[in-house]
């Protein structure tokens, strides 16, 4: 009986979301759900009790969890959050393309291409080495100061440029790992059919490489979505900057909570989606198929 339940629970792992798996893992389905539920309720009751009975709680509640403040700041911050969405949607497209270009540069074989490979390596080293906020500050304040009339002055533009430069360095490494994970025999097969090096890359290597790195790519995009808040340091009115304005005006920190909720509302679904993709990938590999 228990064995049967075990097996069924085991089969369902991976088909549901990770949270549900967590609930179901270990033993007889219904009983473990009940245990998990009770222990969750008890755990949060204790945490809730501890926090609400802390001596500073009334103060914190009015400073951080102020319903009135939340209601009055949330719409404004939500409107500002559209700027964050704009920043990362535009940046993501450019990152995907530019990073792929860098990864391809870096995987060019032969001594002729050494300068290009070296350039790609130096690029990745530099932009992975500098803190994001520094690049944003240097470009965001420096580039417009050059006074070149043909360069845009918008801080959002320069924020996007900075994020593209930095995230491309990370994402190109992800792509490169994918390219290197494709067995050389695939290239030999393609070349032996008369496909050129470029055709081989485009038709055989990259399609397989990109499929393999979708989960880590999404992981990087979760990071990117959060880092859009750094563009606010240039003075762009995005969610973080707006919440700071509100906080400064009212001396109440509930606005930060509004901004945090907005970020979480988009990053958590993406994180769950990433988990789901990884689980699906693992399942497919276990059933013998290497493709996604």
Partner 1 sequence: MSDALVVEGVSKSFGRHEVLRGIDLSVAEHEVVALIGASGSGKSTLLRCINLLEPIDGGRIFLSGEEITRRRDVNDVRRRIGIVFQSFNLFPHMSVLRNVTLAPRDVLGLSRRDADERATALLERFGLAEKRNEYPDRLSGGQQQRVAIVRALAMQPELMLFDEVTSALDPELVAEVLNVIGELAAGGMTMVIATHEMSFARDIADQVCFLDDGRILEQGKPQEIFTSPREPRTQQFLQRIIEAKRL
Of the two residues 124 and 217, which places its CB atom closer to partner 1 in the complex?
Answer: 217
Least separation in angstroms between residue 112's CB and partner 1 is 14
Token digits of residue 36: 């998990």
Of the two residues 149 and 287, which places its CB atom closer to partner 1 in the complex?
Answer: 287
Question: If you write DSSP's letter for every residue of 196-248 in order, what string do you get?
Answer: -HHHHIIIIIHHHHHHHTHHHHHHHHHHHHHHGGGGGGGT---HHHHHHHHHH
Least separation in angstroms between residue 289's CB and partner 1 is 4
Of the two residues 38 and 193, which places its CB atom closer to partner 1 in the complex?
Answer: 193
Least separation in angstroms between residue 292's CB and partner 1 is 8
The C-alpha atoms of residue 23 and residue 160 are separated, in whole angstroms, by 40
Of the two residues 248 and 291, which places its CB atom closer to partner 1 in the complex?
Answer: 291
Least separation in angstroms between residue 217's CB and partner 1 is 17
Among 129, 123, 96, residue whose Cα is nearest residue 213 = 96
Interface residue list for partner 1 (CB under 8 A): 185-186, 188-196, 199, 203-204, 207-208, 211, 288-291
| Dihedral (Cα; 132, 133, 134, 140), 10-degree rounding | 110
The C-alpha atoms of residue 202 and residue 116 are separated, in whole angstroms, by 19
């Amino acid at each position: 009986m228990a064995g049967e339940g075990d097996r069924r629970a085991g089969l369902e792992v991976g088909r549901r979301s990770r949270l549900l798996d967590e609930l179901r893992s270990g033993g007889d389905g219904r009983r473990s759900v009940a245990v998990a539920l009770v222990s969750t309720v008890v755990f949060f009751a204790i945490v809730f009790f501890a926090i609400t009975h802390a001596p500073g709680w009334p103060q914190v509640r009015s400073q951080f969890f102020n319903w009135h403040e939340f209601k009055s700041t949330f719409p404004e911050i939500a409107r500002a959050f559209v700027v964050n969405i704009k920043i990362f949607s535009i940046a993501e497209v450019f990152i995907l393309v530019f990073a792929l270009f860098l990864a391809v540069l870096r995987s060019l074989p032969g001594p002729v291409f050494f300068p290009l490979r070296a350039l790609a390596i130096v690029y990745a080293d530099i932009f992975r080495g500098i803190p994001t906020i520094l690049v944003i500050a240097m470009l965001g304040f420096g580039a417009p100061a050059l006074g070149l009339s043909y360069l845009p002055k918008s801080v959002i533009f320069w924020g996007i440029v900075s994020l593209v430069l930095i995230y491309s360095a990370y994402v190109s490494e992800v792509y490169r790992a994918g390219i290197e994970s494709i067995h050389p025999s695939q290239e030999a097969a393609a070349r032996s059919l008369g496909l050129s090096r470029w055709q081989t890359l485009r038709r055989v290597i990259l399609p397989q490489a990109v499929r393999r790195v979708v989960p880590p790519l999404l992981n990087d995009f979760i990071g990117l979505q959060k880092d859009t808040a750094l563009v606010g340091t240039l003075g762009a009115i995005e969610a973080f900057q707006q919440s700071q304005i509100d906080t400064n005006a009212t001396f109440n920190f509930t606005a930060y909570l509004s901004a945090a909720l907005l970020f979480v509302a988009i990053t958590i679904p993406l994180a769950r989606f990433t988990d789901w993709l990884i689980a699906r990938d693992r399942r497919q590999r276990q059933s013998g198929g290497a493709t996604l």
